[in-house]
Amino acid sequence: MRIYGVVAFLTLAAAGHQQQPPQPQPKPPQQTTPAGPSDAPNVTFTSNANLVVVDVTVKDPKTGAPIEGLKLTDFTLLEDNKPQKISTFDFQKLAVDPEPPEAPPSLDDQHALPEDPKTTITLPSHNQIQYHDKRLLVLFFDFSNMGIPEQLRAQDAALKYVDTQMTESDLMAILIYTTAVQVKTDFTANREQLTDVIKAFPIGEMSEMADVADTGDDNNQDTGAAFVADETEFNLFNTDQKLAAIEDVVHKLSALPEKKVLVYITNGISKTGIENQAQLEASINAAVKANVAIYPIDARGLMADPPGGGASKAASRGSGIFNGSVYNSQRAAINDSQETLSTLASETGGKVFLDSNDLSLGIVQAKNEFRSYYILGYYTTNAKLDGKYRNISVKLNKNISAKLDFRHGYFGDKVWGKFNGADKEQQLQQALSSPDPQTDLPLALEADYFRISPVAYFVPVSVKIPGSVIALAEKRNGGETEFDFVGQVIDERKHIVAKVRDYIKVKLDAGDTERLATRNFHYDAGFTLAPGRYRIQFLVRENQSGKMGTFDARFVVPDLAADSMLLKTSSVIWSNQREKIKAAVGAAEKAPRRQTSADPLILGDEKIVPNITKVFRRSQNMYITFDVYDALPDPDNPRARRVAVSMSLFNQKGQKAFEAGPLKATQVASTRPNAVPVQLLVPLKTLAPGRYMCQINVIDEVGRKFAFPRAAMVVQ
């Protein structure tokens, strides 16, 4: 199919992403002298891009006990089958037996003010080992994914571990995630301080976000309604945020050369197909690079919900509770959420802890798995900055029988500044066809559909990029950068049916440059497609820094030509912003002229900017745009239609929190056959912050047909 109205349009929109600028590469190191165990407290790993740190656990193959007393000369280390010189060496001896409870404080100590916890992770100078013979244990609580009962259970488990199960080798750091990652305390062995931090947890915060949104799959319950609300997009960004929080924690720990254990306490993470794969792999790769083993704990414990759900959920409607579909849906949702936890554990060298109400046993399991180990450091002989994966192999000499646990590889560094034109083009093609996602540049993408003829549909594609990750070239009174946009649409026969390729220069004035950290870039393109199932692959590269991001998603263009008992509608566009078309900050030089009259997202001289994540602020208005198709003519006026539209917002308890309308839509679009365009404007200032279900009620009063499209949204 031909490309329809390729859009080369960039605009700035409100956003909330923050990211630190890239750090300069350090200079190559000077030769260092290997150190043995007796020198361990003074072991230093010189900070350098070529330094590779490998933590090796050596166990007896029969008993599983750690083997101690090995020397540097007992190890052979290879990278891509090439021997590497071990430049630094250290042994960490860790205890596994719990310490007795602390004695009660004396009368003088009772009146002393407690020491305030440090709320940043202390980083070593020059990667020096600062925690010798210590187990670095990080408790990370994902409050955005737990209800109040699970938050309380997790709190009790942490208190139990601190009070009765800590060892003399344990140093614990505590972090939580609500809307952002918060460091509650740096690594410490102070039980009193840890206890105070855990008792001060904000129980109840973000618990309204614990319920997983509906994905509209075949296992969902039969509600008796004529449709299943598809909240897949809402789940997509919820999941990406949780996985990105894990990656953020890992980056905070990456400068520590010691092995780290991340105990991740959550209610599970549900994925929506392959869309979350990019962020999942990015989090795993970051953990492997940083020597962080993830030990997820499912805070829900042992689950035995009856078919239809427990007392905390509304009763199921329809026949699903009798034919088993409701139970299958519950079980499938639980298995899906636990599968992601298992992936995080297995790919980073940890273990997952499921189906137990004593969550402290999961922390003990992580402690017991994390025994004494050796730290090996070497400077790789592979100086290529190609970003390719490099295999690591560690062996013992002198026929020593042992079981070795270590990370088996890492991704090398790459330098964008050395790429020539051919290299850049080849990089684009390889990145688009590679199964490995690119995540240096975060992307959000939405594909919608509008009927423009009985057999053709206009598919607008919207891409959002956070401005905080973009590096601008310094220009007088402003800044500029360049983007490459590459996309392709593949049908079920794996044929490419549409492509887009844009090169766009962006110029910002001084005011927009200053606000870049809190703004988004928005790009949109359009295709003409026949009804069917498709897959879209999209890549964006920012040419100032060379950062790339990819997005891979599946979408469906339904066939609305057939007769139906339901009223036919297009995609519903949820937006909080309209921008002047002339306000574009960049355009593709060779793009064909947009046929603005046929584009349903252009109203006059304004462009509707879709809100992909459906997260709104109370200070904003919500714009709702869609088309109604094949409504019967008004008997009193054959050129008009009688379509009634209203909107309802339901809160978490299922109670109606807001209602707008009804209003009448009567005019038929001149550029889209038999289509009645609908636009709603809803002020959000009277709504309380929280999560809502937004339902659009559409009725053809003459044809007596109806539709009720729905979507989940969040008001902040």
Residue 593 sits in a domain whose CATH number is 2.60.40.10
User: Do residues 311 and 212 make contact, with C-beta atoms less than 8 angstroms apart?
Assistant: no
72 sits in which H/E element: none
The domain total for the chain is 4
Q: Residue 292 and residue 140: Cα distance in Å, rounded?
A: 13
Same structural domain, 350 and 407: no
Vertex 334 angle, CA 329 and 335, to 5°: 100
User: Do residues 258 and 136 make contact, with C-beta atoms less than 8 angstroms apart?
Assistant: yes
Same structural domain, 490 and 468: yes
Residue type at position 413? D
Same structural domain, 568 and 663: no
Q: Is residue 328 part of a domain?
A: no
Residue whose C-alpha is closest to residue 450's, from 218, 268, 269, 608: 608
Same structural domain, 363 and 387: no
Pairing of strands 496-509, 478-490: antiparallel
Which among 613, 635, 659 is the end of a domain? 613
Q: Is residue 103 part of a domain?
A: no
Same structural domain, 585 and 642: no
| Parent domain of 469 | 1-25+439-613
Q: What is the DSSP letter of 247?
A: H
Q: Model-level pTM greater than 0.75?
A: no
Same structural domain, 523 and 666: no
Which among 575, 595, 613 is the end of a domain? 613
707: domain CATH number is 2.60.40.1710
Q: Is residue 425 part of a domain?
A: no
Q: Is residue 119 part of a domain?
A: no
Q: Is residue 432 part of a domain?
A: no
Residue type at position 172? M
User: Do residues 13 and 519 make contact, with C-beta atoms less than 8 angstroms apart?
Assistant: yes
Q: Which residues of the chain have pLDDT under 70?
A: 1-49, 101-114, 124-128, 206-240, 271-276, 278, 304-330, 414, 416-420, 422-423, 426, 435-436, 474-477, 587-598
Q: Residue 707 and residue 716: Cα distance in Å, rounded?
A: 28
Q: Residue 485 and residue 499: Cα distance in Å, rounded?
A: 11
Tokens of 153: 């259970």
Look at residue 270 in the predicted model and tell me its pLDDT.
73
Same structural domain, 600 and 480: yes
Q: What is the DSSP letter of 291?
A: T
Same structural domain, 172 and 303: yes
Residue whose C-alpha is closest to residue 220's, from 316, 135, 329, 304: 329
Q: Residue 435 and residue 271: Cα distance in Å, rounded?
A: 18
Same structural domain, 45 and 11: no
Same structural domain, 482 and 557: yes
236: domain CATH number is 3.40.50.410
Q: Is residue 420 part of a domain?
A: no
Look at residue 340 in the predicted model and tell me its pLDDT.
87
Q: Is residue 314 part of a domain?
A: no
Q: Is residue 219 part of a domain?
A: no
Map tokens 């790919």 to a residue.
Answer: 347
Same structural domain, 44 and 177: no
User: Do residues 30 and 46 make contact, with C-beta atoms less than 8 angstroms apart?
Assistant: yes
Q: Residue 297 and residue 159: Cα distance in Å, rounded?
A: 15
Same structural domain, 142 and 287: yes
